[in-house]
Amino acid sequence: MPTRKIKKGKKKDKQWYNILAPQMFGKTKVAETLADDPNKMIGRKVETSFQTFTDDFSKAHIKLNFKISSVKGLDAQAIFTGHSMTSDYMRRIIRRKQSKVEGIYDVKTKDDVRLRVKPVVLTGRQIKASQKRLIRACMNQVILEEAKKNKFDKFVKVMLDGNLGREMYSACKKIFPVKRIELCKSRVMSAPMVPLDEEKPDESVEEVSPESVEEEVSPESVEEEVSPESVEEEVSPESVEEEVSPESVEEEVSPESIEEQPQEEKKTKKKK
């Protein structure tokens, strides 16, 4: 049977791209990846250890999950999507004749980011079901309060550093002497409205252009304010003539008024 030949196009050259962590982790380089088109990289997932950011071997069991959201040049920006702990670490801390109290809580941070947190409480010995319910309620209260007063990046930092586990330990210790509390898993349910790694533009001072200055103080406006027509209207020869006119002078000193004065003098003499 004849076979159809398939025409193959030219292969594009692939390039190495650097995957950068978000701003909360200092935008450090997480990994590298190959791609022939930057658009094909969006959505790729990356997993790395928390030790790469802290250089602390005691944090090596914490795995961080990232997802590429945008590509600029040869740098791919990733966002935090959650964390988990290695299975060997969880098997090592669990012992026989202990009670394991697990919980799943959906919380919302101060900047309206929804997360799902899964803590685990380990006790020294087995406890009752009523005590487990009280411990779960106590953990829920502590996580909700911590999420309400912190933004997304601060809450993730508190969760990974172990400060949130210490607060839950001190609160649950009043119910029953617990042995250990670990935040074994978390997942981001909804991303923030504004990307956290987005840099805010610097507030620049608006330069005053010469055109705007000319518009504010233009020669036409000056001519309108002080125009020769307005000056002529204020002091015009017609107004001067009206103020001091020959008719008004004749009225003030007229020959009739002069003749009337000697006649009055004659009358006064006759009376005398």
> Which whole number is the average pLDDT over 79-89?
94
What does R_g of the chain's alpha carbons equal in angstroms?
Answer: 46
137 and 166 share one domain = yes
**Higher pLDDT residue, 252 or 86?**
86
**CB of 84 closer than 8 Å to CB of 185:** yes
**CB of 63 closer than 8 Å to CB of 85:** yes
What is the C-alpha to C-alpha distance for residues 241 and 190, in angstroms, rounded to an integer? 88
100 and 119 share one domain = yes
Q: Which of 128-132, 219-223, 264-268: highest mean pLDDT?
A: 128-132
121 and 163 share one domain = yes
Residue 148 has pLDDT above 60, yes or no: yes
68 and 128 share one domain = no
What is the reported pLDDT for 195? 45
Residue 123 has pLDDT above 60, yes or no: yes
Q: Does 222 reside within a domain?
A: no
Residue 268 has pLDDT above 70, yes or no: no
Q: Which residue, 45, 68, 85, sits at the end of a domain?
A: 85
41 and 111 share one domain = no
Per residue in 203-224, pLDDT (tens digit) is 433 444 445 434 544 445 444 4
Per residue in 49-79, pLDDT (tens digit) is 999 898 889 899 999 999 999 999 899 999 9
127 and 173 share one domain = yes
109 and 49 share one domain = no
Least Cα distance to 77 among 122, 7, 30 occurs for 30
Residue 31 has pLDDT above 60, yes or no: yes
113 and 182 share one domain = yes
Per residue in 158-208, pLDDT (tens digit) is 999 989 999 999 999 888 889 999 999 999 998 655 444 444 444 433 444
**Higher pLDDT residue, 139 or 206?**
139
> Which whole number is the average pLDDT over 218-242?
46
- How many residues comprise the chain? 272
What is the reported pLDDT for 4? 67
175 and 101 share one domain = yes
Q: Does 257 reside within a domain?
A: no
Q: How far apart are the first and last CA of the chain?
A: 166
What is the C-alpha to C-alpha distance for residues 143 and 107, in angstroms, rounded to an integer? 7
pLDDT band at 95 (very low <50, low <70, confident <90, very high): confident
Q: Does 80 reside within a domain?
A: yes
Q: Which residue, 133, 160, 194, sits at the end of a domain?
A: 194
142 and 51 share one domain = no
Domain that holds residue 183: 94-194
22 and 78 share one domain = yes
Q: Does 214 reside within a domain?
A: no
Q: Which residue, 167, 194, 221, sits at the end of a domain?
A: 194
What is the C-alpha to C-alpha distance for residues 104 and 106, in angstroms, rounded to an integer? 7
pLDDT band at 7 (very low <50, low <70, confident <90, very high): low
Report the CATH number at residue 128.
3.30.479.30
Mean pLDDT of the chain: 77
Number of structural domains (the chain) is 2
Question: Degrees (nearest 5) of the Cα angle 128, 132, 133?
Answer: 120
**CB of 195 closer than 8 Å to CB of 79:** yes
Strand partners, 49: 63
22 and 43 share one domain = yes
Cα 127 from chain centroid?
A: 47
Question: Degrees (nearest 5) of the Cα angle 64, 69, 74?
Answer: 100
> Which whole number is the average pLDDT over 128-155?
93
Instruction: State percent of the chain over pLDDT 70.
Output: 66
> Which whole number is the average pLDDT over 91-103?
89
